[in-house]
Structure 1
Amino acid sequence: MCLRFAIAFTLIKICGLGPVYSANAQTTSNDTLVINVKQAEDQFLKNNLQLIAQRYNIDNANAQIITARLFPNPNFSFSNGIYASGVSNPYAEQTYGLSQLFTTAGKRNKNIQLAKISVEQAKYQFFDMLRTLKFTLRNDFYTIYFQEQSAKVYNQEINSLAKTLTVFKQQYTQGNIAEKEVLRIQSQLYSLQVEYNTLQTNIDTVQSEFKLLIKASPQVYIQPQVDTINNQDIAATVPYQRLLDSAYVNRYDLRLAQTAVDYNALNLKLQKATAVPDVSVSLNYDKLAAYGQNFLGGGISFDLPFFNRNQGGIKQARIAIDQSKIQFQSQQDQVQSDVATNYKTAIRLQQLYNSFDPTFKQNFNHLIQEVFKNYQMRNISLLEFLDFYDSYKTNVLQLNNLELSRVTSLEQLNYVTGTPFFNQ
């Protein structure tokens, strides 16, 4: 009995009172980056290469406005005589020409307006990318945080069982305990190690994406710092209609779809204007013209729109308008669906979270201590003890996953509305 008591007491010290050594050496490394979500966003805005590259598209679009505002260059021509029959000095004959093309029907102004719309589109694409990447950043941040909380549970149990296994093996070699108890501990330990490895692989994957977003070194291990998490039912405090109205105003992908309609409508006007011929005005000088020496003449030229009146371009522009209107309506429907679905999800997850007793985790910790005591007094078997401990692990993991789902559902609402309503 004393031997049993010693083994049990050792197990209790290991599981409940002994120090917990992290199975993840990176979290104690000097390369650990402790960062909160605000700091992460600041680094993201400053360093993210995708955003920096996307900004150049705005500069390129602004350069197109400069090009659209430029007038056509005048054309200069010169001709000098080389040979003429019966003329002793053909080199004396020289002609000069100067011509200027003038666009008609407001083509230049329409091209300027199209270039300005292109700038708006480039800005909307930039801000939509910003919205998407910011959501990914914050989602990754909270995913890493809660998964690391779950990893701590595995670390605690793995370290405890590893030490317990060492003690049990020593007792088994001395013939004090049965082999089945050693194998049961060993089986539980291997199972936990496999589960922990899968969890750590998921953490590493999210860490890799997060580090790319803030341009952190690949060798750095991210340790999210979360001060407080609002556990109140904040999703229900914002009316659904307000969320939807905000999405209609602040979703840049929707505004981009609207500018496509505007662009194509203006492009139709440009295509119709293209059917109007441009005019070229010229001034000509001929030193030894047949009409008389030092001949100076002026001229005008333009195409006669008998055959090509840009019928194909006009038809394509009309089709593009109809197509962009359908795409805009489809995008509106998508926005409405996104807001409705994610709002219901956030409300449902909050209700589920509220159904859990906030003292559950604390009470469960107390229950585990009581289980230790009962095992010490041999009121429960080793198998029952491990089952209780496994139940504890499962419930803590479920609570972490639930809280992660609740937080990310609010981040999803921020994303689909284009407005930072929650988790600020």
Structure 2
Amino acid sequence: MLHCRDRRRVGPCLSALVRRACLAISLLAFLAIGGGIAQAAESTSPPPVPFSPPVVRLNLSEAMALFLKQNLDLLIAKYGIESSKGQQITARLFPNPVAQLGNVASFTQGNTLAKTGALTMQVQQLFELAGKRGYRIESAGFGVQSAEADFEDAVRQLGFTIKDAYYRVLVAQRRLSLAEENRDRFARILDVNTIRFKKGYIAEVDLIRIRLQVVDFQAQVIEAIQEGESARADLRQLLRLSPASKLELTTEMDYRRVDPDMGRLRSVALDVRPDIKSRRAALSQREADLKLAKAFRVPDVTIGAGYSVQGSRGPDNQQMGILNLGVPLPLFNRNQGGIVQAEVGVQSAQAELDRTVNQVENQVDVAYQNLLQSRRLVEAYLAGVLEDARSTFTIVERAYERGGATILDLLDAARTSRTIQQNFIEALFSYQRNLFQLESSVGQEISS
């Protein structure tokens, strides 16, 4: 508020008051107009589009194809092949020739460089004998084969990992469906018995037991959701997918009976397992290295050719051609140490091959026995145990509704049905996992 104590200044004070009032009115009008404009802009602008994560639908074959295309571990393994090919290129190259340029002069008795100097130009070339270059090429070729087999073995091992991760997601989905079914079923039972409790038909302790069972099933739902998210995260990482992507798996976890021939599996494994191929290629490479080491006992030859121009006071023949031959004399060093090292390399490679063969045979046998045992368990559930557990729960539930069973009988039947169904899911997953393990042990898919 504006105060004016001096009457002589009433006029100026009134003028200042009027100016302030006008300024306030203008400011309010501006804010009102601005607010209207903002509201109009908000009314005309389109509503924000909610974010929807990309959905990736994959069956098992599509997941494997995406894995082979994008997995970083496989991309790293491919670099080993390219490195071996570089060594193969190097092995094919010939030694570079050596060019020499020399000048000899005599400065005695008043001679100068222009009068007595000799300018010599020469080119020398090393020629490897005893097949050294061929042995190097042979060794590098086996190195490439070994690197390619190592890549195939990485595909084999990581392929089992991707299948296992895929089916762990399916197991989590089955567990979630089972937990939600049991929760919803007991939620309905809880609603009915809440009404019965209010009418005095059941005791409060029975209602509390049902309520606790609903909470237990809800905890199982949350646990299954957490397991599913963790399994999906592992699968996305293997497939090199964004964490924002939503995975939908279309392959069902169904039972497919497989009855393979053990003798044939062992024979196929010894022929096609890439780690055995890698060990065989490594053994061949060490044998080629041994032949190369023995070839170094034979000295290489250096041949040179050149031309010499002398000054005016040199010998009568002032221009001469030069041809020389250089051969090391193998009196002391005949590559004895290199030969011993190469022989040890052959023995070590042979031991590695024998150990790998033994491991493969045992892996195939163990995976086959595990498959048989898990198959028997799944077929035992499918023979009627699984259906009996579900039917028992339904029968006891109906009897409880008619008063022919107690709440303890109902809870016991529910727990038994849940345990049997969860055990069946675990047995089915174990069977499928053992089948994948057997395929990985053999090195190829098993169709029957």
Give the TM-score taking structure 1 as reference length.
0.82
Question: Which residue of structure 1 lines up, in the alignment, with residue 300 of structure 2?
Answer: 278
Cα distance in 1 between the residues matched to 2:67 and 2:168: 17
Q: Paired residue for 2:85, among 34, 43, 62? A: 62
The answer to whether the 8 Å contact 2:53/2:246 transfers is no
1:132 maps to 2:157: yes
Q: 1:186 to 1:280 in 2, by over 3 A?
A: farther
Letter in 2 for 1:419: Q
2:167–2:253 CA contact under 8 A, matched in 1 = no
CA contact (8 A) 2:269 2:441 kept: yes
Task: For 2:349 and 2:336, locate their aligned partners in 1 and report how far apart those are by CA, in whole Å.
Answer: 20
- Equivalent residue number for residue 206 of structure 1: 231
1:390 equivalent to 2:415? Answer yes
**What's the CA shift for 1:171?**
9.1
Matches of residues 110-259 of structure 1 in structure 2 within 5 Å? 110-159=135-184, 180-181=205-206, 183-227=208-252, 229-232=254-257, 234-235=258-259, 238-259=260-281
Letter in 1 for 2:300: D
In 2, the alpha carbon distance for the partners of 1:288 and 1:125 equals: 62
Structure 2 residue 329 is matched with structure 1 residue 304? yes
After superposition, give the CA deviation of every residue in 1:208-245 in whole Å (9 maximum; x if it has no partner): 2322232222223433223573533x22xx22110000
Counterpart residue identity of residue 261, structure 2: P
Partner Cα separation in structure 2 for residue 186 and residue 139 of structure 1: 37
Query: Is the alpha carbon distance of 1:221 and 1:395 closer, same or farther for their aligned partners in structure 2, counting shifts above 3 Å?
Result: farther
**Greater shift after overlay, 87-96 or 51-60?**
87-96
Cα deviations across residues 154-188 of structure 1 (Å, max 9, x unaligned)?
A: 22334555677788889989999766445534543
Distance in 2, matches of 1:158 and 1:344, equals 38
Give the deviation of 1:134 after TM superposition: 1.5
Decide whether aligned partners of structure 1 residues 98 and 392 sit closer, same or farther in structure 2, where only a CA change above 3 A counts: same
Contact 2:279-2:352 at 8 Å conserved across structures? yes
* 1:355 counterpart SS class: helix
Partner of 1:373: 398
Tell me the distance in 1 between the aligned counterparts of 2:289 and 2:226: 51
Preserved CA contact (<8 Å) 1:125 1:252: yes
Greater shift after overlay, 108-117 or 296-305?
Answer: 296-305
2:268 corresponds to 1:268:
no
Code of the aligned partner of 1:262: S
* Aligned mates of 1:411, 1:152 — CA distance in 2: 25
- 1:42 aligned residue: 65
Aligned to 2:435: 410
1:127-149 per-residue CA deviation (whole Å, 9 max, x = no partner) reads 11111121222222222212311
Structure 1 residues without counterparts, runs of 5 or longer: 1-28
Identity %: 26
- Offset of residue 342 of structure 1: 1.1
- Check whether the contact 1:84–1:90 (CA below 8 A) recurs between aligned residues: no
CA–CA separation in structure 2 for the residues paired with 1:228 and 1:205: 19
- Judge conservation of contact 2:396–2:409 (CA < 8 Å) in 1: no
Q: 1:203 and 1:323 mapped to 2: Cα distance?
A: 46
CA shift digits 1:37-80 (9 cap, x unpaired): 12212222222232233223223322322221111111112235
> What corresponds to 1:97 in structure 2?
122
Q: For residue 370 of structure 1, what is the amino acid of its counterpart?
A: I
- The 1-side partners of 2:354 and 2:395 are apart by 61
1:262 deviation in Å?
A: 1.1
One-letter identity of the residue aligned with 2:293:
Q
Q: Is contact 1:147–1:400 with CA below 8 Å preserved after alignment?
A: no
Question: What letter is aligned with 1:268?
Answer: L
Number of residue pairs matched?
A: 392
Q: Which residue does the alignment assign to 1:8?
A: none
CA deviations over 1:320-354 (Å, ceiling 9, x no partner): 11111111111111111111111111112212222
Question: How far, CA to CA, are the matches of 1:311 and 1:333 in structure 2?
Answer: 34
User: Is 2:423 the partner of 1:401?
Assistant: no
Once residues 282 and 101 of structure 1 are traced to their aligned partners in structure 2, the CA distance between those partners, rounded to angstroms, is 9
Report the AA paired with residue 274 of structure 1. Answer: F
Rate the CA distance shift 1:357–1:210 in 2: closer, same or farther, 3 A: closer
Counterpart-to-counterpart distance in 1, 2:349 and 2:226: 43
User: Which residue pairs with 1:14 in the alignment?
Assistant: none
Q: Please say if residues 105 and 112 of structure 2, whose CA atoms lie closer than 8 Å, have aligned partners that are also in contact.
A: no
Q: Is the 8 A contact 1:145 1:223 kept in 2?
A: no
Map of 1:53 onto structure 2: 76
Shift of 1:268: 0.6
CA contact (8 A) 2:439 2:446 kept: yes
Residues 193 and 293 from structure 1, CA distance in 2 versus in 1: closer, same or farther, beyond 3 angstroms?
farther
Report the aligned-residue RMSD. Answer: 3.0
Shift of residue 313 of structure 1? 1.1
Deviates more, 1:221-230 or 1:319-328: 221-230
CA shift for structure 1 position 370 = 2.6
Which sits farther off after the overlay, 103-112 or 204-213?
A: 204-213
AA partner of residue 58 (structure 1)? I
Distance 1:400 1:319 in 2: 52
Between 1 and 2, higher relative CO (CA 8 Å, sep ≥ 6) is seen in 1
Mark the runs of 5 or more structure 2 residues left unpaired by the alignment: 1-51
1:410–1:422: 8 Å Cα contact kept in structure 2? no
For 2:97, which of 74, 79, 83 is the aligned residue? 74
TM-score normalized by the length of structure 2: 0.78
Deviates more, 1:134-143 or 1:349-358: 349-358
Alignment-mate amino acid for residue 37 of structure 1? L
Q: CA-to-partner distance for each residue in 1:108-137, whole Å, 9 max, x for gaps? A: 000000111011011101111111121222
Determine which of 91, 107, 115 is the counterpart of 2:132.
107
